A and B are shown apart, each in its own frame.
Chain A
């Protein structure tokens, strides 16, 4: 009989747990901010969240990566508050958002990035032109010899197609041509950098914040023009050819105080200092001030 009562206790216990868990979510927790999107931004978003919550212990922020496309999909499915993006929203994505919540999503610039091209440390090549990159990534050029390097085949690494960096690179460098089919796509920028670090003949691209173990090369606009390194000065004065803004998109109807405060904080000096710490480049100050005033729809 003792066994019998044991079972009863267990069942009662489980029942209580279920009851507690089922009733708890009915107490709505409005302070949670969900952030989703770009893998390029995810490390920055995570750092921001860490620092913000240190200052505001009652705030609760959950961050997920997956790619810019993921962020926009979540924004129009209304499953995220903020969508991180490493490219501008596409018209078709705006249209889907308008259908879902009747407004254009608000675009907020949060920092600058110099899209970096990585080579293995042992590779003698230090600079390439945009044209060279196009030939490599569309599969027209397959040997380092063509660029004055070793006589070895090029192994090309790219990001997954959900990544905004993938689309940005495709537009800016490949001019909308398809990537070569034999390109390896990695589930994250870190994986690209790691692959290039290990692969003597590898080439890959990603956000500026990741270039610790692979070599970041200088890029020129054409074979004749000078090449620039992806550093803060060159990105800010736009001499580096593949620079871009990184964005956060938000549903304008969703501007709860918690979200507005958080976005303002991101553009404040404290938030922008973290940008530098992580390895991206802070917004030009005039740009930040303009957006700091209010959150309003783009255009």
Chain B
């Protein structure tokens, strides 16, 4: 990257030569286009946060128990009461004809006839208290974390999903990190040049296996094989999904770690080798410590990739929303929940918004993971180049 250092020279050269109008316009154009990336990151954040905002602010209020208004009372009931009863905005109400309102009243009566009765019916289940803390719903023996979004009383406790996502990602990392880093050390430090040139592309090719293929493999082949080998109860579980997820994460961790290890200047290892240490000693006590932040970054970025992966966990975890840290229990992740449930929700409904809350959480977590990873790599690179002491 020596060339970069001379870059400012020719830039200043360019600034001296008088620029024409087209030249300036083009420069502006290029500049504006380059802002697209920032725009999209902002848009993603804005559009996902916007949909989940009512939940964060606690303004999703709905009343389930109401006095029924008979259809023939349409003309005698004051508009305000009707609007509240039918959940209509003033504009909507204005635009509707009498027949439509009658239809709505009719349907509302049917809804009330089927509405749940009992102590839970008045609970605003989208409040944070019900999203995060255990609660004893009627019909349950003890307070519990319950995710049952399709139910008369819709229960949206997200704790089982958070645990599910963390659990599968951690299993994936436990499986992937030792293997990927071991391979990175081998390829970058110990392997002969000829082998290195073959193995690196092969592991890079692994990154090219689409996640739906890994999910299919875990679901159809691995789940059965592992169950037959170990004889546990639940065929699809966090372990199966975690291993498949690990296979998806290995190439990510490998390539970042390998990059960090090779960016340690040759002078380090040459010095160690000259002092009589073996290749392995050099790798483990000189190169590895120097590249440690990079390896840390690789793990963090691998975590970001694992927790955001969708198809593998959708197909291989069994999707049971339980609070359990057991590796052999089935589990439900944030991503699989969004993928399985989003399509059926009504745009703007509370279930839809809760799923966007999950999306916001996911976005936040991966954002942090990426930020930490990138900052660490950046600093490591600069230190190895000798720019910071």
Contact = CB atoms under 8 A, between A and B. Distances in A.
A–B touching in complex (CB under 8 Å):
yes
Interface stretch (A11-19, A181-189, A220-228, A282-290): A181-189
Nearest to A64: B343
Contact of B343 (A162, A181, A195): A162
A166 interface: yes
Interface string B339-352: 01101111100000
Contacts of A183: 320
B330 A184 contact: yes
Given A91-B114, A95-B107, A155-B235, A161 B150 contact: yes
A282 B160 CA distance: 42
Contacts of B219: 191
Contact of A162 (B148, B220, B344): B344
A185 B99 CA distance: 42
Given A91-B111, A94-B107, A184 B343 contact: no
Interface string A59-73: 000000011111011
Contact of B144 (A181, A191, A198): A181
Contacts of A265: none
B345 A187 contact: no
B343 A73 contact: yes
Given A91-B110, A160-B319, A77 B347 contact: yes
A179 interface: yes
B320 A99 contact: no
Contacts of A186: 318-319
A73 B148 CA distance: 19
Given A77-B347, A162-B344, A184-B320, A98 B100 contact: yes
B139 interface: yes
B321 interface: yes
Contact of A91 (B108, B149, B344): B108
Nearest to A297: B103
Contacts of A155: 233-235
Q: Which of A153, A160, A181 has the most CB of B within 10 A?
A: A181
A76 B103 contact: no
A104 interface: yes
Nearest to A153: B233
Contacts of A102: 96-97, 99-100, 103
A92 interface: yes
A181 B146 contact: yes
B281 interface: no
Contacts of B148: 161, 178-179
Interface string A99-138: 1001110000000000000000000000000000000000
Given A94-B107, A187-B340, A73 B347 contact: yes
Interface string B116-157: 100000000000000000000101000010111111100100
B343 A198 contact: no
A66 B330 contact: no
B319 A185 contact: yes
Given A155-B234, A176-B152, A66 B343 contact: yes
A263 B318 CA distance: 37
A166 to B, nearest CB: 7
A81 interface: no
Give the interface size bracket for B toward A: 35 or more
B151 to A, nearest CB: 6
Given A161-B149, A177-B139, A181-B320, A73 B346 contact: yes
A259 B218 CA distance: 41
B377 interface: no
A94 B224 CA distance: 43
B341 A160 contact: yes
Given A98-B103, A182-B330, A92 B111 contact: yes
Given A91-B114, A178-B148, A184-B330, A104 B103 contact: yes
A183 B147 CA distance: 12
A95 B109 CA distance: 11
Contacts of A91: 107-108, 110-111, 114
Given A184-B330, A185-B320, A167 B111 contact: no
Contacts of A68: 344
A251 B315 CA distance: 34
Contacts of A184: 234, 236, 318-320, 330
A278 interface: no
Nearest to A195: B235
B343 A70 contact: yes
A178 B146 contact: yes
Contacts of A198: 223-224, 227, 235
Contact of B346 (A96, A104, A187): A96
Contacts of A178: 137, 139, 146, 148, 151, 155
Give the top 5 A-B pairs by smallest Cβ distance, nearest first. A69-B344, A91-B111, A162-B344, A184-B318, A161-B150
9 contacts: A73-B343, A91-B110, A98-B103, A98-B104, A102-B100, A166-B150, A179-B148, A184-B318, A184-B320
Interface of A: 66-70, 72-73, 76-77, 90-96, 98-99, 102-104, 153, 155, 160-162, 166-167, 170, 176-179, 181-187, 191, 194-195, 198-199, 201-202
Given A69-B345, A93-B346, A161-B340, 15 more contacts: A69-B150, A70-B343, A70-B344, A73-B344, A96-B346, A98-B107, A102-B99, A104-B103, A104-B107, A155-B235, A161-B149, A185-B340, A198-B227, A199-B227, A202-B235
